[in-house]
Amino acid sequence: MTTMAPSRPVMPPHDHAPRPYTGPSRQEVLAMRRQFCHPSTFLYYREPLMVVEGHMQYLYDETGRRYLDFFAGIVTVSCGHSHPRFVERLQAQLALIQHTTTIYLHPNFPLMARRLAGKMPPGLDVTYFVNSGSEANDLAVMMARLFTGNNDVIAVRNGYHGGSPGSMGLTSHATWKFPAQVNQGIHHALNPDPYRSPFRGTAEEIASRSAADIRDIVRFSTPGKVAAFIAEPIQGVGGTTLGAPNYLREAYAITREYGGLCIADEVQTGFGRTGDHFWGFEGSGVVPDIVTMAKGIGNGLPLAAVTTRREIAEALTQRIHFNTYGGNPISMAAGLAVLDIIEEDGLQENSRVVGGRLKAGLQELMSRHRLIGDVRGKGLMLGAELVRDRETKEPATQETLAVWEAAREMGLLIGKGGIDGNVLRIKPPMCITAADVDFALDVLDDALTRVER
Ligand SMILES: Cc1ncc(COP(=O)(O)O)c(C=O)c1O
């Protein structure tokens, strides 16, 4: 008698045919990476994956094998990999002119700035374009310091704001911080996420008590005035952690009492990903003074931005400030295409609908799999935290790794995060379908079953 191999989930069909790959072999690429690329660039997976083509929510390796991408190049591919209309728009721009700098007029730069102003609450209507989220946060903090005349900045524990020397100071994870920082005057306030809060009570009570920590920091650790408070509406790298909506409302009010500006880091949460809203901060009913953006704004092109009020922006005009690639015609064309495609393809609404299906599915998995301790997030910014014991909440780091590897074997790429590496981070391109969600849930069910055995 032969034993039947257990059937594995089957990926939904897709009609894109990847081109035959003719470049260097995976082994050669790996060897070059090891020899010539900086050793701090790390690779995912025990057997690193080589990706040579992408189409919408799918990626293809050098053999033509298809993967469902539920991590989107770290929450960056918003519209879809090589989305045909995105490609068309960029190719058209590339054929005309690829670089000028902002010292000359080009329509794309103000056109994109105007489109962003149209997406923001009234008053937030001037934008500075840069190339990365780290740069955007550095610039935001610089503007806040110059505008307020204060130096101290409060960020939130477990947050990630970048890896430049400045933004690394804002980041609150030992794993991402070098012992060589230049950003002075940064303080980290208690995290409002109820799952691991030291406080007990409802999520709203925990949010209030966490916000009160900001007042304590100002009173005990600063000259009684602050330049800014910066927070991600949903922490991404930290493992999809978030407080109740009153957290940002109270945190912003306290910050403003002490003269500070409020910065929303929308690098991961912006551009419709949370489903209900275009910006993450809208979920808390707050209006920031400065909004920083990157990742989804460019669908993978190096584009980032800082939008603020004119009077705050004026603070930066006291010296010459210049960014060679910021406002570049190609990145601006990318940004304009992203904004159009989000509207035309209904991607925010899709994030709400399929994200709701995915979250409900993850909660259902939690009811059957003891490893899942918490399911969090909104829209297509979701996380599942794995623990060895639901009482002690001991992080299931090794098990997370095993689930993540097993998912890849079955063709599903997801992220992982949290300071203990025990959160499955699920943030796909916003064009995924209900069939993709069902496949991903079957894969995770299968992977969890294998690991829990
Ligand atoms: C919330 C947040 N802010 C800022 C950054 C830094 O962006 P970049 O890597 O483009 O510098 C990241 C990157 O992951 C992020 O997740």
Task: State the residue for tokens 């400030």.
Answer: 321
Is residue 1 over pLDDT 70?
no
Does any ligand 1 atom lie closer than 6 A to the CB of residue 237? Answer: yes
| Closest protein CA for atom 7 of ligand 1 | 133
Q: Which has the higher per-residue pLDDT, 285 or 182?
A: 285
The torsion angles phi and psi of 351, rounded to 5 degrees, stand at -60, -40
For the residues 261-282, what does the mean pLDDT come to? 98
How far is ligand 1, taken at its centre, from the CA of residue 171, in Å?
A: 10
268 lines ligand 1 (CB under 6 A): yes
Average pLDDT, stretch 111-139?
Answer: 98
Check pocket membership of 297 for ligand 1, CB cut-off 6 A. no
Q: Is the pLDDT of residue 347 over 60?
A: yes
Identify any residues that bridge with 383 across adjacent strands, giving them in sequence order.
376, 425
* Whole-number pLDDT of residue 89: 98
pLDDT at 2: 53
Quote the ligand 1 centre to 26 CA distance (angstroms): 28
Ligand 1 atom closest to residue 135's alpha carbon, by position in its atom list = 11
> Whose Cα sits closest to atom 13 in ligand 1?
162
304 CA closest ligand 1 atom index:
10
Q: According to the model, what pLDDT value does residue 182 have?
A: 77
% of the chain surpassing 70 pLDDT? 99
Radius of gyration of the chain (CA): 22
Burial group, residue 421, by CB count within 10 angstroms (0-12, 13-18, 19+): middle
**Residue 305 in contact with residue 129, Cβ under 8 Å?**
yes
133 CA closest ligand 1 atom index? 7
Q: What is the mean pLDDT of residues 124-141?
A: 98
- State if pTM tops 0.85: yes
CB-based contacts of 340, cutoff 8 Å, min separation 6: 85
Of the candidates 166, 162, 199, the one whose C-alpha atom is nearest the C-alpha of residue 180 is 166
Per-residue pLDDT tens over the stretch 200-251: 999 999 999 999 999 999 999 999 999 999 999 999 999 999 999 999 999 9
Rounded to the nearest angstrom, the distance between the alpha carbon of 160 and the centre of ligand 1 is 7
Q: Indicate the length of the chain as a whole number.
A: 453
CA of 202 to the centre of ligand 1 (A): 30
Report whether residue 116 contacts ligand 1, using a CB cutoff of 6 Å: no
What is the whole-number distance in angstroms between the Cα of residue 280 and the centre of ligand 1?
Answer: 15
- The CB of 280 under 6 Å from ligand 1? The reply is no
Residues 414-429, mean pLDDT to the nearest whole number: 97
Looking from the CA of residue 162, the nearest atom of ligand 1 is 6
Model pLDDT, residue 169 = 96
Which atom of ligand 1 is nearest the CA belonging to 266? 1
Greater confidence (183 vs 395) lies with 395
pLDDT (0 to 100) of residue 3 = 58
Strands 290-293 and 58-61: unpaired
The 10s digit of each residue's pLDDT in 74-96 is 999 999 999 999 999 999 999 99
pLDDT, the chain, mean: 97
**Contact yes or no for 375/386 (Cβ under 8 A):** no
* pLDDT for position 70: 98
Write the Ramachandran bin of 175: left for phi over 0, alpha for psi from -120 to 50, otherwise beta: alpha
**pLDDT of amino acid 5:** 65
* 132 CA from centroid of ligand 1 (Å): 7
Q: Which atom of ligand 1 is nearest to the CA of 294?
A: 10
Where does the pLDDT of residue 181 fall: very low under 50, low under 70, confident under 90, or very high at 90 and above? confident
Residue 4 has pLDDT above 90, yes or no: no
Q: Is the CB of 265 under 6 A from ligand 1?
A: yes
Structure confidence by residue, pLDDT tens digits, 15-24: 999 999 999 9
CA distance 230 to 288: 10
How many A from CA of 248 to the centre of ligand 1?
A: 20
Question: Residue 270: its pLDDT value, please?
Answer: 98
**133 CB under 6 A from ligand 1?**
yes
Closest by CA to 427, choosing from 173, 78, 60, is 78
pLDDT in tens, 37-71: 999 999 999 999 999 999 999 999 999 999 999 99
